[in-house]
A and B are shown apart, each in its own frame.
Chain A
Amino acid sequence: MGKFNKSGKKEMPALNSSSMPDIVFAILFFFMVTTTMRSETLMVRMKLPTASEVQKLEKKSLVTYINIGAPMDTRLGTGTQMQLNDRFAQVSEIQDYIAQEKASMNEADQPLMTVSIKADEETRMQYITDVKQALRQAYALKISYSARQGGN
């Protein structure tokens, strides 16, 4: 049957890949828009506690972070330190920090500001309580104890 003989070698047509850059660009733009550059480098080491009933913090622009833990740089000791933005700070500096963060926000968003306390699980509650009292004084009343989803 001549129909099936393979003597007439047909070349495989070249795949037209000219639209490949377009597709890649589309994905690229997606990532460029969704990405939020990590704005601060962590200077404290922390292992967040686990909890099962966590809620997601929806709007990233409304969230202010307070990092609490032992310093990454072991030369600075192993005591609990707090990092606000890109530097170590004392509890007494929280009020200024909150005021500054609030001022940089849209006025309508200010009451919705949430402070996420990211603290190492070995932190003593005394420190957390001090931070909480400082936040109360600064009228940052919406807080969230940051925790990893897990456990049962």
Chain B
Amino acid sequence: MAKTIRKVPALNASSMADISFLLLTFFLLVSNMDVDSGLARRLPPPPQTEEQTTVDVQRRNLLVVLVNAQNETLVQNQQETQLYANETELRGEGGKVALKDMVKEFVLNTQNSSLLPELSEEDFGAPIGTVPVTAQHVISIQNDATTSYKAYIAVQNEVVRAYNELREEGSRKYFNTSYEDLTEDQQGQINNLFPQRISEAEPKNYGGQ
């Protein structure tokens, strides 16, 4: 018997590329790369006892931002009161002081006014050192039952924008770079310097039943 070496016929693999392309297209279509984004907030824990624990806040430390059913915004502190009729006015178009500038002035209290939050010296570590800050200020965002979500988010956005600008300015002043380029520790320092003290009030019934 003659030994014959039988050759295995080569597999035609030219259609492999087609098949894998098909799979690739399928996964390309079903995958969604978009990352959800939003305004992060922290809710207060639920009240423990029947009697609501209320925190007393001095009048001067409080900035009330009230969005009403007509989606108008009333901003009020001890120093001034401002009414914004719509979203463009919130951004400072139309001759009014923008909401973010009011918030920034309120948080900084550069003039050490007795109508704005009290300043207290605090140590934030090198290179910031001991600087006066308004540690007790509170921005209270209140809304009506029929306020639209869109207007509410617009107001929230402006307040967050004020804080972000403050942090950016602080970062430029103390670290000479943009906030985004700071290390995590440095960002923590700046965040301690300008903590977001936003309170979303308990629901109230204005002109209720």
Contacts from A to B (Cβ < 8 Å): 17-18, 20-21, 24-25, 27-28, 31-32, 34-38, 49, 51-57, 60, 63, 65, 114, 116-126, 128-129, 132-133, 135-137, 139-149, 151-152
Contact = CB atoms under 8 A, between A and B. Distances in A.
A34 B147 CA distance: 39
Interface residues of B, number: 45
B36 A146 contact: yes
A132 B24 contact: no
A124 B151 CA distance: 10
Nearest to A147: B38
Given A31-B24, A63-B36, A141-B43, A125 B30 contact: no
B156 interface: yes
A48 to B, nearest CB: 8
B123 to A, nearest CB: 28
A145 B38 contact: yes
A118 B38 CA distance: 9
Contact of B44 (A25, A35, A118, A136): A136
Contacts of B209: none
Interface of B: 13, 16-17, 20-21, 23-24, 27-28, 30-33, 35-46, 67, 91, 143-150, 152-154, 156-157, 160-161, 164, 200, 203
26 contacts: A21-B13, A24-B21, A32-B27, A35-B32, A51-B38, A51-B153, A51-B156, A53-B164, A56-B36, A57-B37, A121-B150, A122-B148, A122-B149, A122-B150, A124-B147, A125-B143, A125-B148, A125-B149, A129-B145, A136-B44, A141-B42, A143-B42, A144-B39, A145-B41, A147-B38, A147-B39
Interface centre among A52, A63, A148 (most CB of B within 10 A): A52
Contact of A128 (B13, B24, B31, B152): B152
A71 B29 CA distance: 25
Contacts of A140: 43
